[in-house]
Amino acid sequence: MMLPSPYPHSKVAKSPNLLETSASGLADSSWVDDHHFGKLTEDSPSLFRSAFATPNRSSCLRESDLIHGEQRLRAWLVNTILEPLHVRIKETNLKLDKEHASPPIRIGVSSAEALQAAMVSRPELIDTMLPYILPFLRVHTNQSYLVSRISELAADKFMMDYSWNSGGREPVQEKVWAADLVSFGRAARRPWGDHLPTDALLVFSLFSAYMDSQLTSNPLVGSCRLAQPFSAVYTLKTPQRPSPVHLAAESFYLHMSSASPPHFDFVFNDADGSPSRAAIPRGPRNLFSAILSFINHIKVANGGRLDRMSIGPTGLNIACILE
């Protein structure tokens, strides 16, 4: 189901000279094995070239396409996912606070499991935004950090606080000891640690959750993942192995080949099932370049449709990122 947005089908703003980060190094091929994970094409003239094995199946993304596309993708992520999600969380918490329920629940404090249980015991919550928000809250167990970081990333229309290999400061409650008893004092913040998701992983997970809400259920993914029609078919996270859906002819997906440091590849299969992957550099721009390669492949080689949904303005409205 779609998360209603106060900015439906927003046009993406432009920002000249937004990104000056240079790429550093090609993605290595250490993740390639004899199981499936794809081969790096060798005829790529540019570091940023989306390397497709068969030229008539897809076109290449030039460096200028990726730089401009990244600006628009950042804006699309904020306008379509992060800012509406932040607004809906605030609105829902205001409603929850007014109810004075026992036990009290609050997004960013209560666990996703507690929120799910509350919807079962309190059916009136089904008529709130909570059912739409809950899939996004499942991307990480640290709810206070998750909600805080969503708010921080949504604060700028180009997500300028994005830190690909780390994140924001973690909200914590300071402990105060008195007479062998502990109580929690004022809220504080401590530096990001590796027990928290990197911004790259967080944004990727939120993007996947949003896309899950847009596509229809696919029985090919198995009953345990019917609620994840995008994630189950079009993503793969290490150490997971490819499913038969990933191995099928002409399948394509985003593969998180490394969690630390985060690295994402775009993998696509030929008509005979032979896999290839785009030549995407490591570093700050990696996630955006992978998603842009994914979108470009849909536009050029998959009829402009993801599953049965258009990626144009009548559907996902994501094709505009590469226009």
* 143-202: pLDDT as tens digits: 999 999 999 999 999 999 999 999 999 999 866 555 555 455 667 999 999 999 999 999
Q: What pairs with residue 48 in β-bridges?
A: none
Are the beta carbons of 173 and 184 closer than 8 angstroms? Answer: yes
pLDDT of residue 99: 86
Query: Which of 274, 276, 279, 250 has its CA nearest to residue 264?
Result: 279
- H or E element in which residue 256 lies: strand 252-259
What pTM was computed for the model?
0.81
The tokens describing 264, both together, are 């994402």
DSSP state of 267: E
Question: How far, in Å, CA of 121 to CA of 138, rounded?
Answer: 20
pLDDT (tens, 9 = 90+) of the chain, 323 residues, equals 455 544 444 444 433 332 333 333 323 323 223 333 333 333 333 333 333 333 344 457 999 999 999 999 999 999 999 999 999 999 999 999 998 778 899 999 999 999 999 999 999 999 999 999 999 999 999 999 999 999 999 999 999 999 999 999 999 986 655 555 545 566 799 999 999 999 999 999 999 999 999 998 665 555 556 679 999 999 999 999 999 999 999 999 999 999 999 999 999 999 999 999 998 999 999 999 999 999 999 999 999 999 999 999 999 999 999 98
pLDDT of residue 178: 55
Question: How far, in Å, CA of 205 to CA of 141, rounded?
Answer: 13
CA end-to-end span of the chain: 27
Question: How far, in Å, CA of 2 to CA of 6, rounded?
Answer: 12
**Which residue type does 194 have?**
D
Q: What pairs with residue 256 in β-bridges?
A: 237, 264
Sheet holding 235-237, edge to edge: 39-40, 275-277, 262-269, 252-259, 235-237
Are the beta carbons of 236 and 38 closer than 8 angstroms? Answer: no
Q: How far is CA 211 from CA 2, 77, 145, 312, in A?
A: 9, 11, 22, 14
The tokens describing 309, both together, are 């949904």
DSSP state of 78: I
**Which residue type does 57 have?**
R
Are the beta carbons of 162 and 169 closer than 8 angstroms? Answer: no
pLDDT of residue 23: 36
Which burial class, exposed, middle or buried, applies to 31 when counting CB atoms under 10 A from its CB (0-12, 13-18, 19+)?
middle
pLDDT of residue 180: 55
Alpha helices in 239-285 (DSSP H): 244-247
Question: How far, in Å, CA of 307 to CA of 298, rounded?
Answer: 10
DSSP state of 93: H
Mean pLDDT of all residues belonging to the chain? 82
